[in-house]
Amino acid sequence: MNLSDLIRRLFVGSYLPSTEAVQRQILTLIEGNGPLAATMLYARIQPIGETGSGRSHIDQAAQILVNMQRAIATDATTGRTVDPVNAPGAYRLAVLRKEITKRD
């Protein structure tokens, strides 16, 4: 935790890790466990997943991973591709594997 995080925690009363740190946590979870529901991400990424703003922070980090094509989010019931920020709590996130083709 750096000085700006400490000051924010003192004045705002809560601490949210950087979006990059949350992205790393999400990737570690879905690479090790396979696709996870948003509610499981909220439960596993502590302590920020316990609050509404923390869940939103996790959804935003998941959205960035989707935009960077490092993960894919699908609707938990229909299986259609969704944006995590538009389907908070109702998506499953998985690592997006890209096939590497070799040219001869």
Q: Please say if the pLDDT value at position 101 is more than 60.
A: no
Sign, CA dihedral 87-75-45-17, equals negative
Structure tokens at 55: 């869940």
Q: State the Cα–Cα distance between residues 41 and 24, nearest whole angstrom.
A: 12
Q: What mean pLDDT value characterizes the chain?
A: 81
| Predicted local confidence at residue 21, as pLDDT | 86
Structure tokens at 48: 């920020």
Domains and CATH numbers, the chain: 14-95 (1.10.10.10)
Write the pLDDT tens digit of every residue in 14-61. Answer: 566 778 888 899 999 998 898 999 989 988 886 665 667 788 888 999
pTM for this entry: 0.74
Question: What is the phi-psi region of residue 86: left when phi exceeds 0, alpha when psi lies from -120 to 50, beta otherwise?
Answer: alpha
